[in-house]
Chains A and B, each alone.
Chain A
Amino acid sequence: MEVLRESTFKLLKEGNEAAFEVVFKTYYARLQAFCREYVVDSSIAENIVQDSFMTLWNKKSQLREDTNLNAYLYTIVKNFSLKHLRNLKTSDNHKEYEKNRAEELSLNAMALVELETSELEFKEIEQLIHETLEELPPRCREVFDLSRFGGLKNREIAEKLNITEKAVEANISRALKKLKVELKDYLPLCILFLN
């Protein structure tokens, strides 16, 4: 991941458009992908990320020198996404999704609430993900990358690597389970279910 230079940060605070462009283009894709995991709809994720950058833009002068921009942006996206998911819950829009989808979205909201995005921890999370993926066996890593970052369906991965779909699934599961173990401190700490 690119690290923003101190000078960029300073320019950003001053409202320099070019500096903002660097920030926008550095974070846009990952934030959009992250948001889409919870809200499911790509165009909604795009809107939420746009709104999030607008919040950053409006508050740029209040940023501290030591603000972890990554954590800051993820937190805004998290909050906007939750707001969206909660609005869905209360509005009539639910009818338009099939019942299952609505249920999945409410589970997503539940998961997102538990996600820790506050400043200090976030840098560590990134580091951890990177290290965890590095430690995976090559084939497992390859399958995970193709699924996660290449956007390929399991069937397509199976064809490409000439393995069974079951093997693809097992490899993705393995990678994710390892991530889950390594990231345990940032995933839910203590859950209170109200329903």
Chain B
Amino acid sequence: MDYNTKGLSTNNMNTDQIIKLFTDELSAREREEVLNWVHESKGNKKEFIKLKNAWSLSATDSGIKSQQIENAWQTFKIKIRKNRNRGTSRLPVYFKYAAMFIIVFGAGLIAEKLISLTDTVQEVPENMAVIQAPPGQGAQVTLPDGSNVYLNSGTQISYSNNFLQDNRIVSVIGEAFFEVSKDRQHPFIIKTDKLDLIVHGTSFNVEAYDPLLMNVTLVEGSLGLNSKNGKELVRLQPGEKANYDSERKKVSIEKVDTELYTSWRKGIITFRNVALCDIIGKIERWYNVNIEIVSDELKNQRYSGTLLKSKPVDQILEALSITASFSYEIQYIDDAPTLIKLKKSNEQ
């Protein structure tokens, strides 16, 4: 038998083409042809499935280098060690700082004084309590009504000291996750510079770092988004994320996996198919560093993964650079955030 070339039947042609689909050697047009062929009949589908599964099962090895396996193991080892330690310390390392801070804050409230973690002096009305998580730090706060607020890096919340008298009003700049205690007598209202949120017993995430855009993700309960003049724009259902564009005055709602938008409070950032430039934005905020992507082609590369915020920034970059094929250079600068440059690496 001659398996080499001539006189291939249609069927043979398709097997070759299907395999090239597996090995990613088809043009967009050829790819479409194969997919159309698969859909043509039950028999073709069956043939595709058999070939696909036979192909996948034969993937007993593959070009995965031992260094990649080692890296994967190191990542895994850290995760299981972290799990083990969970028994002894409930809060992630990230919040240890915050725990200390809450006590200070409690004392400060009695004195009706402005408490802030950073030393910057701010003009605030005297009867306002202001809580700030400095860049690179998170904080957790329990409000006088028992509601919990997790502040992401560089976030400020404030509320008046007659917080519980009529209603519960909190102002947010930055990103915070709220677990609001139920209290029908005292509506819980969150004010941002763009929208007001009317809370109906609930947990949700507010991201309002961007001067123009704002994201609100509702985990449970129900939440109204009000324009600054008090009109209810939309009421969110659990599992929904609202994106507000303050320039175009538009709200769009999507169903999301809320974990992706709220896991930061547990010290975890999860990405699904997110562009590197967006991931970098989060890392910058978290670690209070400046990151410059030198090679443009890196910016739109997409990644999925989970980062543990308690790890130092160089370890995070190291982990990312393994899959992302970039190299990085860290420059420490006096009196300014550290500068990190990412370049496409040349190898491979």
Interface residues of A (CB under 8 A from B): 1, 17, 20-21, 24-25, 28-30, 32-34, 36-38, 41-44, 46-47, 49-50, 53-54, 57, 87, 91-93, 96, 98, 100, 103-104, 107-108, 110-112, 114-115, 125-126, 129, 133, 140, 147-151, 153-154, 163-164, 166-167, 169-174, 176-177, 179-180, 183-184, 186-188, 191, 193
CB <8 Å contact, B19 and A37: no
Query: Which A residues are CB-close (under 8 A) to B42?
Result: 191, 193
Q: Given the interface contacts A43-B303, A53-B76, A176-B15, does A111 sit within 8 Å of B53 by beta carbon?
A: yes
Which residue of B is nearest A24, CB measured?
B73
Contacts of A191 in B (CB 8 A): 42, 45-46, 49
B-chain residues with CB within 8 Å of residue A163 when the two chains form the complex: 4
A151 to B65, CA, bound (A): 12
Majority secondary structure of chain B interface residues (helix, strand, loop or mixed): helix
A128 to chain B minimum Cβ distance, whole angstroms, is 9
Chain B's closest residue to A50 (CB) is B76
B272 CB contacts on chain A under 8 angstroms: 93
* A-B pairs with beta carbons under 8 A, tally: 189
Interface residues of B in 35-55 (CB under 8 A from A): 35, 38, 42, 45-46, 48-55
> B interface vs A, CB < 8 Å?
3-5, 8, 12, 15-16, 19-23, 25, 28, 31-32, 35, 38, 42, 45-46, 48-64, 68-70, 72-73, 75-77, 79-80, 254-257, 272-273, 302-306, 323
- The reply to whether B52 and A111 form a contact with Cβ atoms under 8 Å apart is yes
Q: Across the interface, do B61 and A29 meet the contact criterion of CB distance under 8 Å?
A: yes
Residues of A within 8 A of B20 (CB): 154, 169
Residue from the list A49, A92, A110, A177 in contact with B254, Cβ < 8 A: A92
For residue B255, which residue of chain A has the nearest CB?
Answer: A91
The answer to whether residues A54 and B69 also contact, given A167-B5, A170-B16 and a CB cut-off of 8 A, is no
In the complex the two chains form, is A37's CB within 8 Å of B59's CB?
A: yes
Pair B305/A43 contact, Cβ less than 8 Å: yes
Q: How distant is A53 from chain B, measured CB to nearest CB, in Å? A: 6
